[in-house]
Amino acid sequence: MNAHQVYVIGAGIHPFGRHAGVTGADMAVVATRAALTDAGLGWDKVEVAVGGSNTGKPDALVARLGLTGVAFTGVRNGCATGGVALATAANALRAGQGEVAAVIGFDKHERGAFAADPASYGLDAWYGTTGLMVTTQYFAMRTRRYLHEHGVPDLTLAQIAARASRGGAANPNAWRRRALTTEEVLAAPMVSDPLTNLMFCQPDEGAVALILARGARAFDLCEAPVRLASVAVRTRGPGSFEVFSPWLAPHRSGSPTRAAAQDALRQAGITVADVQVAQVQDTDCGSELIHLAETGLCRDGEQTALLTDGATEATGRLPVNTDGGCLANGEPIGASGLRQVHEVVRQLQVRAAGTAVRGDPRIGFTHVYGAPGVSACTVLMRPDR
Amino acid sequence: MSRPLAPELFASLDPLALAGSRCTACATVQFPAARQCAHCAAEDPAPITLPAQGRIWTWTIQRFEPKAPYLAPADGFLPYAVGYVDLGEVLVESLLQCSDGEPAIGAEVHLVRATAPGGHFTYAFAR
């Protein structure tokens, strides 16, 4: 242990789903207080705060949490918001801005797929009015191409949805609590071929907070701190296949996920084979399929065997999205990346809300991804002390 | 004859052809034509006319009516096919028209006019 290492010493969540009459800020306060209670701290002990939201103003939370004068940074990075907020807070601690930080993510989205303004993406109006500016189309087209290139059957997509639903059914904080069969998933209405409506997550509402501490302070405050061994954020390179692209280069390269995953593993000094519990962005079943390979957790095409053999089940040899992932929790995009970290931290502390992974996991990995090609990956480790 | 919804997308209306650009520094081809290369940021890529024939690279069918800014046809929403068309130097995102069933990866397609909002037309690729 050294003074520059950052640990998660508290984690709190407001259940994801639909909560009429509850604001995004209300949920953020619930999650923050739960995380502070988990850490055994008051808000007055927080020296650095970073909040992420795409529908609210995080720094306004001080009016609800306490006017302590804390330095409070707001982050808005679409679906990757949580990962970027965590990186920002960890860097502030490493830079010596304090010993205790809070990271808070929340969002409260309207029903249905996100609508986007072409101008905000540097695109002209025709792109939206003619029906090309639809996120679900992108995920479907990316999935279709991947199935074609790697010989993956539609059944593998359905197996991902079914596995996620089992994680959600066991997790009291999840939105979708019913276990689905692959038959149900395949028979559901088609949204964007080859993805049915049970293969997509939906935007929803929720909040997550983490309390971080640096160096020896983490062990003074927490019996079982989890080390944030690395956090890496990357944007797309040339040739990556991203949403809202009127054109693509003919050859694929520049995946932000591949770059962020490799950097997070390198910083942590491990290989992907060391990962014992993982979270990957599963906006839809195709996204999980692709991200399993882009993070290096498996080879292209190997997903079919992993899903068929039960390897990615919570009790399998490579547990993935053990809390049900985005598919069962929905996606309040400011909180989503922090939900992943919250789940992995609790798995490493052997106190997951849902199904616990087998054995004695020491190393976990998270991957969040969003438009327009932003990925953030973390490696979390249970320290030997 | 109706007018194009976005005239800058076309290098020519008869024969119909899309307007792209090629970077004079790194040769990256873009659509629509760009004022700055998205790959190397060089200024003023050269305008080029894109091929009117290509192959479907990937596809899907939009089965629900998108939210705004999408504008549905006056007589109501109908599911439509979209995809990327491989034109060799660039893949172009496009509406797809397949009168003989579903699109397929690798299928040959050619540039056509498609009905667009306000009585205008846009581009599509058809089998």
pLDDT in tens, A124-155: 999 999 999 999 999 999 999 999 999 999 99
Torsion angle, alpha carbons of A22, A325, A200, A337, to 10: 70
- Mean pLDDT confidence for A89-107: 97
pLDDT in tens, A211-220: 999 999 999 9
Between chains, do B91 and A126 touch, taking CB under 8 Å as contact?
no
CA A120 to each of CA A117, A161, B94: distance values in angstroms, whole numbers, following the listed order: 6, 32, 21
pLDDT in tens, A99-111: 999 999 999 998 8
Sheet with A226-235: strands ordered across: A71-75, A48-52, A100-108, A205-214, A6-17, A226-235, A374-381, A363-370, A277-279
DSSP per residue over A165-212, as a string? Answer: HHHHHH-TT-S---PPPHHHHHHSPEEETTEEGGGB--B-EEEEEEEE
Cβ pair A5, A214 in contact under 8 A: yes
CA A330 to each of CA A109, A283, A306: distance values in angstroms, whole numbers, following the listed order: 10, 8, 24
Round the CA-based radius of gyration of chain A to a whole number and report it: 19
pLDDT for A372 equals 84
pLDDT for A2 equals 82
Residue B99 has pLDDT above 60, yes or no: yes
pLDDT for A111 equals 85
Residue A178 has pLDDT above 90, yes or no: yes
Q: Which of residues 35-54 of B touch A (CB under 8 A)?
A: 38-39
Nearest CA distance, B21 vs chain A (angstrom)? 11
pTM for the predicted model, two decimal places = 0.96
- Mean pLDDT confidence for A355-377: 94
- Mean pLDDT confidence for A355-367: 96
pLDDT for A236 equals 94
CA A172 to each of CA A13, A352, A353: distance values in angstroms, whole numbers, following the listed order: 11, 10, 7
pLDDT for A1 equals 65
pLDDT in tens, A35-83: 999 999 999 999 999 999 999 999 999 999 999 999 999 999 888 899 9
Residue A115 has pLDDT above 80, yes or no: no
Nearest to A192 among B63, B69, B93 (CB): B63
Cβ pair A339, A13 in contact under 8 A: yes
Cβ pair A200, A14 in contact under 8 A: no
Residue of B nearest to A140 (CA): B60
Nearest CA distance, A358 vs chain B (angstrom)? 39
pLDDT for A385 equals 46
Q: How many whole angstroms separate alpha carbon A127 and alpha carbon B70?
A: 9
Residue of A nearest to B93 (CA): A246
pLDDT in tens, A252-311: 999 999 999 999 999 999 999 999 999 999 999 999 999 999 999 999 999 999 999 999
Q: Which residues of B touch A126 (CB under 8 A)?
A: 5-6, 9, 116, 122
On whether any CB of chain A is under 8 Å from the CB of B65, the answer is no
Residue A344 has pLDDT above 60, yes or no: yes
| Contact residues for A268 (Cβ-Cβ < 8 A; gap 6+) | A229, A230, A379, A381
Between chains, do B90 and A250 touch, taking CB under 8 Å as contact?
yes
Nearest to A126 among B5, B88, B90 (CB): B5
Q: How many whole angstroms separate alpha carbon A86 and alpha carbon A226?
A: 14
Between chains, do A141 and B61 touch, taking CB under 8 Å as contact?
no
Candidates A121, A130, A191, partner chain B, best to mutate (most B CBs within 10 A): A130
DSSP assigned state of A301? T
Element (H, E) at A139: helix A135-150
On whether any CB of chain B is under 8 Å from the CB of A247, the answer is yes
Read off the pLDDT band of B1 (50, 70, 90).
low
pLDDT for A95 equals 96
On whether any CB of chain A is under 8 Å from the CB of B30, the answer is yes
Nearest CA distance, B10 vs chain A (angstrom)? 13
Between chains, do A128 and B70 touch, taking CB under 8 Å as contact?
yes
On whether any CB of chain B is under 8 Å from the CB of A120, the answer is no
Nearest to A250 among B31, B61, B89 (CB): B89
* Tokens describing residue A169: 């059914």
